Amino acid sequence: MAQVFGSTLKRREDPRLITGNGQYSEDIQLPGMLYASVLRSPHAHAKIVSVNIDDAKALKGVVAVYTGKDLQGKIGTVPTAWLPPDSNIQTPPHEVLAVDKVRYVGDGVALVVAENRYVARDAVDLIKVTYEVLPAVVEQEDAMGDGAPVLHDGVEKNVAFHWQAGNATDEVFDNAEVVVTQRFRQQRLIPNPMEPRAATAQYNPGTGEMTVWATSQNPHIHRFLLSGILGIPEHKLRIVSVDVGGGFGAKIACYPDEAMVAFAARDLKRPVKWVEDRRENFLITTHGRDMVLDVEFAGTKDGQFTGIRVRNIANMGAYLSTAGPGVPTILFGLIVPGAYKIPYAGVDVYGVFTNTTPTDAYRGAGRPEATYLLERMVDLFAAEIGMDPVEVRRANLIQSHEFPYNTAMGLEYDSGNYEGALDKALQMVGYEDLRQKQQELRASGRYLGIGVTTYVEICGLGPSQVAGAVGFQGGLWESATVRVHPTGKVTVFTGASPHGQGEETTFAQIVAQRLGVPFEDIEVVHGDTNRIAMGWGTYGSRTTPVGGNAIAVAVDKVIEKAKKIAAHMLEVAVDDVRFEDGTFNVEGAPGRSVSIQEVTLQAYLAWNLPQGVEPALEGTAFYDPVNFVYPFGTHICVVEVDADTGEIDLQKYVAVDDCGRVINPMVAEGQVHGGIVQGIGQALWEGAVYDEQGQLVTGTFMDYAMPKARFFKQFETAFTETPAPQNPLGVKGIGETGTIASTPTVVNAVMDALRPFGVKDINMPLTPERVWKAMEKGRSQA
Amino acid sequence: MSEKQQVTLMVNGTQRSLEVEPRQLLVHALRDQLGLTGTHVGCDTSQCGACTVLVSGEAVKSCTMLTVQADDCKVTTVEGLGDMAHLHPVQEGFWEKHGLQCGFCTPGVMMTTVGLLKHNPNPSEEEIREGLEGVICRCTGYQNIVKAVQYASKKLGEQESEVEIASAAPRAKA
């Protein structure tokens, strides 16, 4: 049969999505449905003195109004589900609706349920709240300072946790030939999936069953957590997330809104829909990044890296979001040594409460921040010792024969050919010629910059034993059921929960190749807790390495059983049967064969099955990976900086990524494209800005600079394929590599362009104003 | 609230009469009253373009137009653009070139593309990127959207067909 695994096939998600037949959470329409709207705090920090809901309740069309006090004792608090060990983590209660105090602009104060969305919004405006405004604190370092306002009683200096890891000692840095230090600001970003969050809840008082159609990257985790908050047992709670309009980490967390909507639906015995508007999305859906990073980097004069040490002060926002504490600790800290042989590494991480929106995973989650500081330090170190940034990388990259490689942070990197990817990228971009051109242009007062990143990332989260050891309050295995129907058609049920990444297509490719059935005969089902046994969802680039391999194992179970039936049908011993391309053949007897479809029909008819074999044909796997996976690659960017205006012209961008075996090159390339744009967004345009009172200044698409089509030229992307050695399919993740690699690549390129001005670092985003000011400073000091 | 008003819209080729509040946004009439949920709302400041539909053949952001303003107008949504038996070249382009991932912004981006190609049937890459100024996609990085538009432009040129799709045998869904 034709090779399906590894081929570009058009996506099977698309027909419904390009004809308006998708089913996003907001698309759910139910008889008798009500609409909810939430009154949110306009203050970053205030005591609630009184809430008057009389006028709102009196408005025609309003069905109910709930305040925090109304819900007290009837609903639980919103939990934190990642508790890094030995970090003295503080998890003060996060009420579904604030009772006595609000802690950020957007904190929920009251819920209105009305006959339509317009009336619900009208009623919200009629609620009168008296606040006693308290001083707010926005920056994490300020929040740790003496005399800072305290958000949560008993949490001293607003420190939510303090976590340390690694083996870097003072001695390493005291004895180093060269030490470079630098402070980096990882600005706060707003994930902004194009679909705002939404929840539609329906309760059946007769059965006690609750269904919530919710925008979720992990419906089973939402079922698990919402079950606790609502007091509805898991078997009576169904979460459905069929089409989800992007997540980027922002749809992992369990939020108050889904819980209060479900509460209202049960209380009122009518379906209730809530849809976030974009302004709310900016205010209440989790943000990402926001770290202050102080880095020490040690090496020898001839270019060997000897140590790296980072202090990370991470802004957690007003409450600890579901996975929030795992981001600046585990996901950040463990990958700090990156793709290099650095014998000593260490991190010292503080998570701090502030009067801002809670932070959690945002595409890459910890790994972009770590990769950024490392790749920026490598360039600063190279400049310090007068070495070419490519050559200094080459001298320190882990070599392909050195895998599996144990790092200073205790990880075992699985496989790689880091230099191979570097060479390919250098060749694609024409590195030597570019350096020549850079010299020529500089002579005429033009500033070309070339930026390089050679990254490795950790993804495919992950072995459950490790998840437990690092404080994640769940497993990280994945489930798959491959059900072959009597006619030989196949339904695949996956516990992963894709929301744009294309696994309905790529997972069908896995099954088509392995089971030898036509691609068209396979359907992939996800995002419904009543149809799928269990799952941990889609994040951390785990869907293919964990969920995909679960499917491979489930297919193998199907084949194993089918083989017994085939042997019985062919009247030979099982050991004499060979399975290839969907057909069971008898070894050494050409022509004696049965197809998987013929076997399946017999499995269901069950008229004549071998002894001990049950009827029907399906396989279920609960696959727990033995290790993470470690994709890697090299990205190179060429920019020209306008010396008069500070404007940056992105001239060329080359990405070479290695995610192991590629299932569908078109889909993988699409993931890289999107990731690059998000990463460049951070480098050049995006950034959440709060004023001193804790008001989000960048709270709309007019104020927050989302990347647009005209900001870019074409990227050149390519893959190298170094199979993952520790999973059946040989695959790694590709969802986050673009975001992880592109931010430092672009900033390195701009800093390279600005070298004649003596500029070492500029805080992101690199706006023309900041770049121009840095050049001006350089000019005045020259 | 002020009294409801009667409006008549020709939606995807079918005449629809509605009673609406004067303040109602067109997108809510399409989604909530007519059940045409292919048109999405991605923002509240007219930036993202997920709600783009054709009104009298022109691309319009339906979150920025009142239903009453569309009275007596022809409205085309993604449901009326083409179906799987007869995909519009723009839909075909997005499928062929992987111009979508999560699909949420896609209907609006496709309707914007229809409007773009109506006014400029053979745009350069730069003109396409400029022409997409009114839409935001968070997934694709735009590269494959540009390719999808180029595909559609070529296909439409080959067909020498009218981009004015409102007159081209639309199909009512709701």
B104-138 pLDDT, tens digit per residue, is 999 999 999 999 999 999 999 999 999 999 999 99
Does B18 share its domain with B73?
yes
A residues 618..677 contacting B (CB < 8 A): 666-667, 669-670, 673-677
d(CA B149, CA B147): 5
Q: Which residue of B lies nearest to A700 if distances are taken between CA atoms?
A: B45
Does B164 share its domain with B122?
yes
d(CA A267, CA A263): 6
Asked if residue B64 is part of any domain, the answer here is: yes
Per-residue DSSP letter, A284? H
**CATH classification of the domain holding B49:** 3.10.20.30
Strands A272-275 and A34-40 turn out to be: parallel
Fold (topology level) of A361-458+628-781: Aldehyde Oxidoreductase; domain 4 (3.30.365)
**What's at A555, amino acid-wise?**
V
Q: Which residues of A78-111 are buried (b: 16+ CB within 10 A; e: fewer)?
A: bbbbbbbeebebbbbebbbbbbebbbbbbbbbbb
Give residue B70's domain range. Answer: 5-80
Q: Which residue of A lies nearest to B134 if distances are taken between CA atoms?
A: A708
User: Residue B44 is nearest to which of A13, A21, A279, comparing CB atoms?
Assistant: A279
Chains A–B, number of C-beta pairs less than 8 Å apart: 191
Asked if residue B173 is part of any domain, the answer here is: no
Q: For chain B, what is the domain count? A: 2
Mean pLDDT confidence for B142-146: 98
Q: Which residue of B lies nearest to A709 if distances are taken between CA atoms?
A: B129
Element (H, E) at A120: helix A117-126
Q: Residue B166 pLDDT > 60, yes or no?
A: no
Does B67 share its domain with B97?
no
Angle of helix A665-684 versus helix A737-753 axis, rounded to 10? 40
**Residues A22, B103: C-beta atoms closer than 8 Å:** yes
Does B63 share its domain with B105?
no
d(CA A759, CA A775): 7
**CATH classification of the domain holding B96:** 1.10.150.120
d(CA B120, CA B118): 6
The residues, any chain, with a CB within 8 Å of residue A603's CB and separated by 6 or more, are: A484, A561, A562, A565, A609, A615, A616, A617
Which regions of A300-397 does DSSP assign to beta strands (E)?
Answer: 305-317, 344-353
Does B125 share its domain with B95?
yes
d(CA B57, CA B114): 9
- Note the pTM of the prediction, 2 decimals: 0.96
Asked if residue B174 is part of any domain, the answer here is: no
Does B60 share its domain with B105?
no
CATH class of A477-623: alpha beta
Q: Residue B163 pLDDT > 80, yes or no?
A: no
Tracing tokens 């004015």 back to the chain, one arrives at B164
**What's at A48, amino acid-wise?**
I
The alpha-carbon gap from A589 to the nearest alpha carbon of chain B, in Å, equals 44
User: Residue A676 is nearest to which of B130, B141, B146, comparing CB atoms?
Assistant: B141
Asked if residue B143 is part of any domain, the answer here is: yes
The alpha-carbon gap from A153 to the nearest alpha carbon of chain B, in Å, equals 37
Does B76 share its domain with B96?
no
3-state secondary structure A546-590: HHHHHHHHHHHHHHHHHHHHHHHHHCCCHHHEEEECCEEEECCCC
For residue B44, the chain A residues in CB contact (below 8 A) are: 277-279, 700
Q: Is A714 on the interface with B (CB under 8 A)?
A: yes
Angle of helix A737-753 versus helix A367-385 axis, rounded to 10? 30
Task: Write out pLDDT tens, residues B54-100.
Answer: 999 999 999 999 999 999 999 999 999 999 999 999 999 999 999 99
**Residues A670, B144: C-beta atoms closer than 8 Å:** yes
Does B131 share its domain with B150?
yes
Q: Residue B171 pLDDT > 80, yes or no?
A: no
Between A120 and B173, whose confidence is greater? A120
Could you tell me if A563 and A555 are in contact, meaning their C-beta atoms sit under 8 angstroms apart?
Answer: no
Fold (topology level) of A28-134+196-246+251-276: Aldehyde Oxidoreductase; domain 3 (3.90.1170)
* Rg, chain B, Cα only: 16
A residues 29..68 contacting B (CB < 8 A): 29
10-residue mean pLDDT profile of chain A (782 residues): values are: 92 98 96 98 98 98 98 97 98 98 98 97 98 98 97 97 97 98 98 98 97 98 98 98 97 98 98 97 98 98 98 98 98 98 98 98 98 98 98 98 98 98 98 97 97 97 94 97 98 97 98 98 98 96 98 98 98 97 94 97 98 98 98 98 97 98 98 98 98 98 97 97 98 98 98 96 98 95 77
d(CA A529, CA A240): 7
Same fold, A28-134+196-246+251-276 and A361-458+628-781: no
**Residues B44, A278: C-beta atoms closer than 8 Å:** yes
Other Cβ atoms closer than 10 A to A115: 15
pLDDT bracket for residue B160 (50, 70, 90): low
3-state secondary structure of B154: helix
Q: Is A705 on the interface with B (CB under 8 A)?
A: no
Residue A290's closest CA among A388, A193, A241, A360?
Answer: A360
Q: Which residue of A lies nearest to B127 if distances are taken between CA atoms?
A: A710
Does B41 share its domain with B99?
no
A residues 165..224 contacting B (CB < 8 A): 192-196
Question: Residue A217, class by beta-carbon neighbours within 10 Å (0-12 exposed, 13-18 middle, 19+ buried)?
Answer: buried
Domain segments of chain A as ranges: 28-134+196-246+251-276, 361-458+628-781, 477-623
Return the pLDDT at A69. 97
Does B94 share its domain with B132?
yes
Return the pLDDT at B174. 40
Q: Which residue of A lies nearest to B171 if distances are taken between CA atoms?
A: A19
Return the pLDDT at A590. 87
> Where a domain ends, among B55, B80, B105?
B80
Among A9, A19, A217, A654, pick the best mutation site for testing chain B contact (most B Cβ within 10 A).
Answer: A19
Q: Residue B165 pLDDT > 80, yes or no?
A: no
The DSSP secondary structure of A196-209, one letter per residue, reads PPEEEEEEETTTTE
The DSSP secondary structure of A28-95, one letter per residue, reads ---TT-EEEEEEE-SSSSEEEEEEE-HHHHHSTTEEEEEEHHHHTTTS-PPPP-B--TTS--------
The residues, any chain, with a CB within 8 Å of residue A474's CB and separated by 6 or more, are: A81, A221, A224, A467, A536
pLDDT bracket for residue B1 (50, 70, 90): low
Does B97 share its domain with B70?
no
* Rg, chain A, Cα only: 28
Could you tell me if A380 and A340 are in contact, meaning their C-beta atoms sit under 8 angstroms apart?
Answer: no
**Residues A670, B101: C-beta atoms closer than 8 Å:** yes
Q: And the tokens for B141? A: 């990085």
